[in-house]
């Protein structure tokens, strides 16, 4: 599940760091926050309304020097671009059937000393009525923090915000998480949860 990625390639990692910084500078974007002190955490990415979110997430990861893996639909790793997507850190998820994904990811976290997995809580770019809670149960099961990542198209900013340790009271914790994203605007705001 955990592959060698572009983040493991020192020369390319450096080239992409400077390229990402240049791209942000040239387009008026900025990276905010800093790499957390945690060795393992779930990084939620919201709102997720566009394929561009993937690009900006990778760019922010290079700028903040964070090695990430990204959970994404299985179709992302099919030919002809499958190998490239895995090299970019995509972990494919088959959404057509129940695969015990939460327990499998918890087990993966338990096997590694350092690991950051990006999970979009909406599970899709399309408009949904509520977030999926898998990211929460993964963090709770692995006893690791949830860090709030964002791409805000209104402010042209992407980065990392606050973090929480799941308490087990998902309703109360979700109020804290959702309140953080209240002012964050996706590329297509009409597809965000209201």
More confident residue, 76 or 136: 136
More confident residue, 74 or 169: 169
φ and ψ at residue 42, rounded to 5 degrees? -90, 125
DSSP 8-class letter at 135: H
Quote the longest CA-to-CA distance of the chain: 44
Q: What is the dihedral of CA 113, 59, 65, 10, to 10 degrees?
A: 90
The predicted-structure confidence for 119-157, as pLDDT tens digits, reads as follows 988 755 455 455 788 899 999 999 999 999 999 999 999
Calculate mean pLDDT across residues 25-39: 97
pLDDT at residue number 92: 86
- Whether the link from the prior residue into 63 is cis, omega within 30° of 0, is no
pLDDT at residue number 194: 46
Contact 68, 91 (CB under 8 A): no
**Local confidence band at 32 (pLDDT 50, 70, 90 cut-offs):** very high
Q: What is the CA radius of gyration of the chain?
A: 16
């Amino acid at each position: 599940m955990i592959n060698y990625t572009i983040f493991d390639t020192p020369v390319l990692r450096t080239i992409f760091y400077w390229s990402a910084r240049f791209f942000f500078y040239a387009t008026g974007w900025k990276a905010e926050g800093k790499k957390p002190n945690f060795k393992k955490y779930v990084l939620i990415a919201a709102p997720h309304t566009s394929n561009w979110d993937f690009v900006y997430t990778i760019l922010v990861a290079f700028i903040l020097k964070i090695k990430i893996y990204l959970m994404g639909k299985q179709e992302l790793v099919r030919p002809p671009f499958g190998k490239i997507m895995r090299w970019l850190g995509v972990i494919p998820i088959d959404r057509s059937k129940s695969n015990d994904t939460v327990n499998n990811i918890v087990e993966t976290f338990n096997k590694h000393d350092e690991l950051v997995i990006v999970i979009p809580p909406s599970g899709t770019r399309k408009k949904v009525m509520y977030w999926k809670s898998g990211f929460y149960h993964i963090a709770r099961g692995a006893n690791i923090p949830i860090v709030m990542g964002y791409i805000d198209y209104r402010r042209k900013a992407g980065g990392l915000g606050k973090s929480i340790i799941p308490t087990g009271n998902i309703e109360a914790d979700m109020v804290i998480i959702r309140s953080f994203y209240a002012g964050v605007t996706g590329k297509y705001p009409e597809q965000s949860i209201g």
